[in-house]
Chain A
């Protein structure tokens, strides 16, 4: 199956700063990637679908100007949390769809905004 990496694994930042999270598909070309957010003791909630070479598709209630997604190549999608606030603190996970509906998840990025 596909190997998916994320960087950084954890990040602490001050309120008002921007944070970029990278999701890489190491051995599988990904025209589509998904970005999820998971608050403590909650489920994974899809934020957006990242499409290579075109605009991302955001889920209802997710601010596209706050969560900037760039999918510039078949192996890399980035999520930038702009002007981060404490309520953005969460576990962010990307996934790459594989063959036969399988999803390959990245290891996740723990974001803490002070």
Chain B
């Protein structure tokens, strides 16, 4: 089955700096890579996703890159704000009604 590794597990940045979270996956059949933000006690919220036919995607301060050959994908948050503080999960799926495998999560703390 799929295995998703994520690092770092914790990340502290000063407000305004950038944050980068990296993930790798094992199953070459995976073709959909969502990123979720989860606040304490809440459901995961999709913040951005990328499909295997795309190398990079950007949405305002958030960007995701995918290197399908190396099976790496990364989340980049620029101009971080205190409200970005949360746990971020990367995930991988082979699409359709297939299950999603999550990374272990990264606790991001943005220091004002």
Q: A93-B43, A106-B43, A108-B43 are in contact. Are A101 and B105 (CB under 8 A)?
A: no
Nearest residue (CB) in B for A97 is B97
CB-based contact B101/A46 at 8 Å? yes
- B59 CB, min distance to chain A CBs, angstroms: 15
CB-based contact A32/B104 at 8 Å? no
Cβ-based interface call for B111 (8 A) = no
Instruction: Give the number of residues in B that approach A within 8 Å (Cβ atoms).
Output: 21
Cβ-based interface call for A42 (8 A) = yes
Size category, A interface: 20 to 34
CB-based contact A105/B97 at 8 Å? no
Query: Among B14-22, B66-74, B75-83, B88-96, which stretch is in contact with chain A?
Result: B88-96
Q: Give A38 to B77 CA distance when docked, in angstroms.
A: 25
Cβ-based interface call for B29 (8 A) = no
CB-CB < 8 A to B41: which residues of A? 91, 108, 110
Interface, chain B (partner A; CB < 8 A):
32, 34, 41-44, 46, 49, 51, 89, 93, 95-97, 99-105
